[in-house]
Chain A
């Protein structure tokens, strides 16, 4: 509602400033309009990255400053722009209106709502381009960001403030991992949660609108949209919007970071982001390098991912965790963009098509995946069970390779192989079914301590489901103990032993 007092105050303020403050505008005229890139003469005072406004209200961003011309990328459809149209500078760097009102909303990279709901209230204008916090303001990753996916939480843990890449061919479940992680953050919105709640931002870059709608539906169904924001620049949106989308997401994340909150941001995906930037760069006639990408494509992603941060208490103690997604072709992680992003991030989760086709979901390749900093953020409970599992899996991989050559195996090798198969089986997890850490620890403890050795491979899934239900029902104190995150000591191990033994008596 319009506040009359405010209107009068504004008018009075304007009137006071009127005589002393002439309106100064730097203007230019359109010379060329090529594929969403406008060449303008004049605008001698324009700055790089400044927002400019066309006569018909369309906005653009200055991306090239030449001696006589300025190149502008359009943020909307530019079919109505003609030669000779007037363009004026605004004196503002491109920014997005960020506020708590954004939670539960779908917006484009300019902050305009796309969900048909009312306009977003005016909040703080956050610049899209922003220098990442310096080393003095940061502290090492020390708090876990739980994904609810056993394989990841156990072997490639992610910490708040980390940049963990999700990489793999199309259709292997990269987005599913990201969405599962968002859904799992619901756990930390409960009053008794041990960790702070996380605001989630999902940035869709160059995706089909149907895919975005599907993800949105999933977030809604899982009640995850209440604490999430979707920034969407679909495949049909201008390349400029696709290029700006991750920066808009980062700007929104910084709004919450400034408030001392923890944020998770998913960039889905940076391959299409690089494509959009390549398209713009080629139209701008910037020199093309490897695979026709411009020379600064590394900086394009490094400056974005550097904005993921864990701030120290003095600076609010907030964090931004980034989960960039990269799509590979034929499992080739040595292509240009994948290697760039692998080198920028703090680890990667590599999904492989042959694992996916053999029924391993999530199809995580344990050998090529890594988390470089997340280990420090892992809870004592998970650390005490995950170490053994990693070792057993590594042994299993080696033995499995050797056993292909020999026909007869000794008992110890055969047992290690059987254990390995069951460990692999227990790491399988359905889509959109994240687990609390207590149940993850329970499953891993059971398999690594041989309680599944006599369970048929095909029954492992059912065994796990029933065991979770049984322990939750019969041993709630044990679940509380595991939820606390404390190391699994002798007492806890004994309780786990009793619980699993009791369950096995009932399991048929």
Chain B
């Protein structure tokens, strides 16, 4: 099966914003082993595109931040995680875009500039 057809199948495996078990079952039955591998990869990519990961240094004010992000990304699934090594600030991963405003990032870039 052509790759773009499999990609289309992965796209139609969603109902609203979530994966549809029935649709997936129907599709996977028709796919060969090779095509299935491509299909799973496409599903993973789509999942990554529909997910936004927010990393904070601690959980202070997490509910307010969550509310803000729901407004910002209404169609995406939000995952919150805690990473104390950020020191302060925030890191947002939206598929292949990473936004970081943290003290760790500031220190790292300062060290790099000094070394240069």
A residues near B (Cβ < 8 Å) are: 2, 7, 10-11, 14-15, 18-19, 22-28, 41-45, 68, 88, 122
Contacts and interface: CB of A to CB of B under 8 A. Distances in A.
B114 A25 contact: no
B73 interface: no
Contacts of B113: 10, 14
Given A18-B106, A23-B99, 9 more contacts: A7-B114, A10-B113, A15-B106, A18-B101, A23-B98, A23-B105, A25-B97, A26-B98, A44-B96
Nearest to B7: A68
A24 B114 contact: no
Contacts of B97: 24-27, 45
Contacts of A24: 97-99
Contacts, number: 47
8 contacts: A11-B110, A18-B106, A23-B100, A23-B109, A26-B97, A26-B98, A27-B98, A42-B95
Interface in B65-116: 95-101, 105-106, 109-110, 113-114, 116
| A-B pairs with lowest CB-CB distance, top 6 | A42-B96, A22-B101, A25-B98, A23-B100, A18-B106, A23-B105
Contacts of B106: 14-15, 18
The interface size bin for chain B is 10 to 19
B65 to A, nearest CB: 15
B110 A23 contact: no
Contacts of B105: 23
A27 B97 CA distance: 6
B28 interface: no
A44 B98 CA distance: 12
A45 B95 CA distance: 12
A7 B99 CA distance: 26
Contacts of B100: 22-23, 25
B105 to A, nearest CB: 5
Contacts of B98: 23-27, 88
